[in-house]
């Protein structure tokens, strides 16, 4: 699944980032992870 690849890349980037950008990566990881638990709009119709 492409979302899992994005999540893995974000986590890897976060591990190599400096303190100033860690918060940005953490927010992006949270956003992507939450999106994985939501159905796509066409699945709710």
pLDDT digit string (tens) for 1-45? 588 888 888 888 888 888 778 888 888 888 888 886 666 556 555
Judge if pTM exceeds 0.75. no
Task: Tell me the C-alpha distance between 27 and 8, whole Å.
Answer: 14
Label residue 34 exposed, middle or buried (CB < 10 Å: 0-12, 13-18, 19+): exposed
Task: Tell me the C-alpha distance between 3 and 9, whole Å.
Answer: 10
Task: Tell me the C-alpha distance between 32 and 21, whole Å.
Answer: 17
Contact between residue 14 and residue 26 where contact means Cβ atoms under 8 Å apart: yes
């Amino acid at each position: 699944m492409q979302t899992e690849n994005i999540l893995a890349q974000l986590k890897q980037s976060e591990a190599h980032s400096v303190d100033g950008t860690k918060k940005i990566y953490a927010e992006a990881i949270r956003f992507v992870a939450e999106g994985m638990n939501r159905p796509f709009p066409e699945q709710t119709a």
